[in-house]
Structure 1
Amino acid sequence: MALLLPVAAFFLSWWQVGRLPNLNISICDILLLVCAVAILTSRGLNGAMFGRMSIAWIMGVILLIGGMLVGSLAHGEFLRWPVVGGQYAFAFLLIPMLLTTCSRSLLERCAIAYVLGVATSQAIGVALTGTLDYETITRYVNRHVVTGNGRLGAMTGEPNSNGAVCTFALIFLLHAVINNRIRRVYAAGLALLIIAGLVASASFTGVAAATIAVLLVLVLSQLRLVVTLAIPVALAITAYVVLDGPVPAAFEQRVGEAVMTGDPTKAGTFVGRTVLIKEAWDMADQNLVIGLGSDGYRRTSVYGMPVHQLYLLVLNEGGVLSFLGLCLIMVAMLVEAIILMGRNRVDGVCCLAGFAVFFIYTMSLPHMFGRMWNGPPLLLFALANAGIHALGQRVPAGIREHHRRVAP
């Protein structure tokens, strides 16, 4: 466990490179499954994966996949449901139970391993794009490292995914710095590397999510961190801009123009996604009670692709049951983050930031059972709950020692 789980966390962001050919299974998934089986056969998994909100979380997952099951059966398209339902069960039930069973120290190593994995991915991607052209990278390395328009996918394999893992990595990095688990000079270097990858991915959603998440952690946890880490990193970025350092053209086109003009239609594929959202909204009236079933939206849509808005997608594919299930999952995450803030402010704020990033991406993506989307926030929540559990065990021990000393 001490070896396999941190390795799995390292490869959590290396989706495309660490993925089995033509399968939605990665090296990370295999390692997590091995760890889950090992713990299940030795001592059992922890069913209280979300603290006080565990029941709400489990009910939300059941409603989410249950609504899609009803729709699949009603439309005679059952074969796809075991795949989608199994992916959601693995990602939202088995993984959090596995993580919550682990110790705080092991989860802390997993968090650092994730940061190092993301930073390594960005270093490789930036080095390749800085030294080789697109054709050479595509021919000899991987066609997913960089897109035709110059956006960095790195080892994640897709620019928007790369922006997401960079954002989650920044949260873990701040958490480690605040808790003195990494030297700040190393953290500043890792932060600059991750930010470079984030900029090169040219993802408006990623930049927006990263900005919101970092501000949440800095403002709500420790303002002292602004002076010791955030300001030096900001000064380095400012100096780079003032000295007219090169900025990827894709970033200027997809992110910079939208920020400077305040026009969201300039942000990436905003217009195209709006068309799909309008179609999904119009279709929802016919699918409220019984949805289209798993992947039914893709078959029904005139555009032949799922809407990039998770709430509308599950509403159409699973009806109101799946929609309520997804909402219950999100409420459980939010409420648990608030509860954790009252017990350990830093852990709770980082969970809140992780939830904010996950929520932002649910508004701009289809199904999110891929572990690179939900694995990082689940690791944040498991880390926070493990800290509370460890504290709860230390306090009674101290009380017993006090009574032993004062006893006659």
Structure 2
Amino acid sequence: MPRPIILAVALSSYLSWRPSLDIMFTLSDLLFLLGLGLLASRHRLPLQPFGALQPAWLMSFTVMMAGLLVASLGARDPSRWLIVAMQYAFAWVVLPFAIAGHGRAYATTLARALVAGMVAMEAFGILIYVSFQASFEVARKVLGLDFLSGNRRLGVFATDANWNGAAIAMTLPFVLFLWRAGRLRTAAMLVAFAVLLVSLLLTASFTAFSSAAIGLAIFGVIAGIRLPRWVVGGLFAAALVVSQTGLMLPETFNKRVAGAIENGDISEAGTFTGRVALIDDAWSMIEQHPFSGVGVDQHRVISKLKAPVHNMYLLVWVEGGLVALLGWLGMLVVLVMVALSTLRRERDVAGLVLAVLVTFLIFSAASPHMYARLWSVPVILSLAMAHGGAVRRTPRAVAALLSRRVEA
């Protein structure tokens, strides 16, 4: 296994580690390219990373890009399509060849790298959170874009607290999966889980917190997790200590998340009101031209609110028309089909895929364009686990098979 790919997966959420914030090309991306080059030189690239569903995946992706292209040709800046198309192609078409289709052991090693990279990033973030008391401007200059936001939400190297929360929510099921598979000891699992949970609270993201809870519940039910009694007792004791000592949750978490949960009113969660306004604005555009979009990245230009809608479905519909939306939905259908196909065979794997996928689907209704690698890597890696037991033919293997048949 190429070591650059292991390191690339570990750093896939470190979005601020790039030469320019204007270009989405990170250190992780560079390492992926190096790793792909090594795989190609060794004739180890898989023919179909997603197995039999690979043609459907590529067709759906092509339909989405075609819809965005046609809409962009009549837009003010058609060149934006090329940039966004390259980003989506790298995240969802190229990366599967580096991550999936190489067997279960390969995917498990990458899953451990993902967890290690996330735990290291979040542990460093927690340390900075409790020790760094300078102003927001100083924090941004020293630590990078939104490592700590103005209201002290933890974004670390993901450049955004919500994105950091999403990465955490999609990593937590991997922690439990590796523990169940015997590739992570109980003590290490508890440490990793605790670090990620504390960081999740510090992101103060309602979407991340709720999706993490749903994802973990799905994994627990499908995989049939039964925690050791001493773990359950420890969690109960910790909860008792917190309740008796009056230990407070982060203030930002109380304002943005806890209140909405306690009162059962989602309008109190984060920037819910602003997001609803963006959704209303997007719907008004869709009603004006439901079949033809306004072009890639043009919604923020012509919108009354001068911002893109934080909903992937509506954003693709607005910018690429109905055709692009159908392509995006087709890609999601493929993901769901892969997840459901594992239910009868391996319940732990099925629980992992569904937990990660549910988090991704929830965030796709709360995020703009989703080509950043922190979205694609956990999803593709979970699918790699689902197809881990299948036989993969590399170009060299296919050539050898054909030559044996000819000789026979």
TM-score by length of 2: 0.90
Q: 1:61 to 1:108 in 2, by over 3 A?
A: same
Contact 2:91 2:371 in 1 (8 A): yes
Contact 1:57 1:329 in 2 (8 A): yes
Moved more, 94-103 or 330-339: 94-103
Within 5 A, what are the aligned runs for 1:126-275? 126-135=126-135, 137-225=139-227, 232-233=234-235, 235-237=237-239, 239-275=241-277
- The Cα RMSD (Å) is 1.9
Q: What's the CA shift string for 1:90-137, capped at 9, x where partnerless?
A: 111111122124332222121111111111111111111211214254
Using the alignment, how far apart are the partners of 2:117 and 2:244 within structure 1?
A: 30
Secondary structure (helix, strand or coil) at the match of 1:342 reads coil
Amino acid at match of 1:21: S
Q: What's the CA shift string for 1:265-289, capped at 9, x where partnerless?
A: 1000000000000111111123322
Match of 2:311 in 1: 309
Contact 1:107 1:383 in 2 (8 A): yes
**2:389 paired residue among 387, 390, 393:** 387
Contact 1:218 1:225 in 2 (8 A): no
Q: What is the count of residue pairs matched by the alignment?
A: 389
Contact 2:339 2:386 in 1 (8 A): no
Using the alignment, how far apart are the partners of 2:8 and 2:240 within structure 1?
A: 35
Moved more, 230-239 or 7-16: 230-239
Contact 1:67 1:319 in 2 (8 A): yes
Moved more, 275-284 or 33-42: 33-42
Q: What's the CA shift string for 1:17-63, capped at 9, x where partnerless?
A: x2222321111111111222322343263242223322221111111
Question: By how many angstroms is 1:150 displaced?
Answer: 1.2
Secondary structure (helix, strand or coil) at the match of 1:80 reads helix
Contact 2:309 2:315 in 1 (8 A): yes
Using the alignment, how far apart are the partners of 2:139 and 2:76 within structure 1?
A: 44
Using the alignment, how far apart are the partners of 1:134 and 1:388 within structure 2?
A: 52
Match of 1:10 in 2: 10
Secondary structure (helix, strand or coil) at the match of 2:387 reads helix
Q: 1:41 to 1:139 in 2, by over 3 A?
A: closer
Q: 1:237 to 1:163 in 2, by over 3 A?
A: farther
Moved more, 270-279 or 230-239: 230-239
Match of 1:90 in 2: 90
Q: Do residues 373 (structure 1) and 372 (structure 2) align?
A: no
Using the alignment, how far apart are the partners of 2:189 and 2:284 within structure 1?
A: 48
Question: By how many angstroms is 1:235 displaced?
Answer: 4.8
Q: 1:76 to 1:299 in 2, by over 3 A?
A: closer
TM-score by length of 1: 0.90
Q: 1:369 to 1:235 in 2, by over 3 A?
A: farther
Contact 2:50 2:101 in 1 (8 A): no
Match of 1:115 in 2: 115
Q: 1:143 to 1:35 in 2, by over 3 A?
A: closer
Using the alignment, how far apart are the partners of 1:254 and 1:231 within structure 2?
A: 30
Match of 1:406 in 2: none
Contact 2:100 2:380 in 1 (8 A): no
Question: By how many angstroms is 1:319 displaced?
Answer: 0.7
Q: 1:241 to 1:329 in 2, by over 3 A?
A: farther
Match of 2:52 in 1: 52
Question: By how many angstroms is 1:291 displaced?
Answer: 1.0
Amino acid at match of 2:107: L
Using the alignment, how far apart are the partners of 2:14 and 2:235 within structure 1?
A: 25
Question: By how many angstroms is 1:387 displaced?
Answer: 3.0
Q: 1:139 to 1:48 in 2, by over 3 A?
A: closer
Using the alignment, how far apart are the partners of 1:112 and 1:19 within structure 2?
A: 23
Structure 2 segments unaligned to the other structure (5+ residues): 393-408
Question: By how many angstroms is 1:3 displaced?
Answer: 1.5
Structure 1 segments unaligned to the other structure (5+ residues): 391-408
Q: 1:187 to 1:324 in 2, by over 3 A?
A: same
Q: Do residues 42 (structure 1) and 47 (structure 2) align?
A: no
In percent, how many aligned pairs have the same letter? 29
